[in-house]
Amino acid sequence: MAEMSETNESGGRPPGPPNCLKCAYFKVTWNPDFPRSCEIFGIKCRNLPSREVFLAAGGHCPSFRLKKGLK
């Protein structure tokens, strides 16, 4: 499966769900039941936070910010 680019041709948001692992707001927790978290939304979850945001809001995460040093 091809890796999705973090921006589209015009330099805007990704066309699909953002990769939380590359997001500045993504954190790993010590809680084995909820190992992933998002600082912006204040959630801890088993799935990637972008999936939880999509299920709750019906759209892709609007707060994605690429971590410094990543392309």
CA distance 52 to 44: 10
Tokens of 70: 């990543």
Q: Is the pLDDT of residue 13 over 60?
A: no
Asked if residue 38 lies in contact with residue 20, where contact means CB atoms within 8 angstroms, the answer is yes
pLDDT tier at 27, thresholds 50, 70, 90 = very high
pLDDT tier at 17, thresholds 50, 70, 90 = confident
pTM of the entire predicted model: 0.72
Higher pLDDT, 3 or 37: 37
Q: Output phi, psi for 52, to 5 deg.
A: -65, -40
Tokens of 30: 């010590």
At 32-47, the pLDDT tens digits run 999 999 999 999 999 9
Give the mean pLDDT of 50-64: 91
